[in-house]
A = this chain, B = another copy of it.
Amino acid sequence: MSGLEVRGVEGMGEIGRGSDLAHLISEATELRDRDILVVTQKVISKAEGAMVDVDPNDPLSHKPVVERESVRILRRRGDLVISETRHGFVCANAGIDLSNVERGKAALLPEDADRSARRIRDGLRGIADVTVGVIISDTFGRPWRRGVTDVAIGSAGIRVIQDLRGTTDTFGRELQVTEVAVVDEIAAAADLVMGKSAGIPVAVVRGVDPAIFLDAGERSSVVPDLIRHPSEDLFR
């Protein structure tokens, strides 16, 4: 039970508008039931055409797009904008990204990354007859700590929060820290094999606690369940 395997999926080629990601993934790798696929936001945005034109000679030409994609600006410093996107994510530049995309283009966040994840999961069930979990990951900064880490912006088939309430520690006492953001931990683990420059857009995580897989009829995904409501948020 206590072993985990994380591997990058290579050889998927360049992804463009209309690419069938479930099909490409199933061609590129062997999957088993209860594997978790982590797919980077970038290939989702490309496949779904969530791209805008920018001036390749003006490093700030995506800034009006940042304003448009934001519902609330939390902080500004120089060119940096930390805002809340219409999905509810708090991140820099409304998640708009210029790296690993064609010159003159910028990638927006997917319209609904939970839906994107469901499509891939359902596609793989049809094509490869496997039941997997899917996470869409993106790279966000955070307050108080330097550097970025990958987190989940969409998911399908798995609980985003593993609730350990009611379980006891090794002394038989009920656990205080109870709600683990497992999808973010899985996204972080996947980034370790994808890197930022390696061109590996998908990773397979095998061996995660099967308890995080949803039972029939259960629902859990990132936007409804992982985003902290502003009224509960001490820093918004």
Interface residues, chain A, with chain B CB atoms under 8 Å away: 2-8, 10, 14, 74-75, 77, 82, 89-90, 97-103, 139, 142-151, 160-161, 164, 167-171, 173, 175-182, 184-186, 188-189, 191-200, 207-209, 225-228, 233-236
- How would you classify the secondary structure of chain A's contact residues: helix, strand, loop or mixed? loop
If A6-B4, A184-B188, A193-B4 touch, whether A147 touches B171 (CB-CB below 8 Å) is no
CB-based contact B235/A235 at 8 Å: yes
CB-based contact A146/B3 at 8 Å: no
- Chain B residues in 8 Å Cβ range of A170: 14, 100, 197, 199
Tallying the copies of this chain within the complex gives 2
Q: Which of B149, B177, B179, B188 contacts A99 (CB 8 A)?
A: B177
- Chain B residues in 8 Å Cβ range of A181: 145-149
Q: Which of B90, B168, B188, B199 contacts A185 (CB 8 A)?
A: B188
* A94, B185: Cα distance in complex, Å: 22
CB-based contact B145/A4 at 8 Å: no
CB-based contact A179/B146 at 8 Å: yes
Name the CB-closest residue of B to A187.
B188
8 A-B contacts, Cβ less than 8 Å apart? A4-B6, A99-B169, A99-B177, A145-B184, A149-B180, A149-B184, A180-B191, A185-B188
CB-based contact A144/B228 at 8 Å: yes
If A101-B171, A142-B142 touch, whether A149 touches B188 (CB-CB below 8 Å) is yes
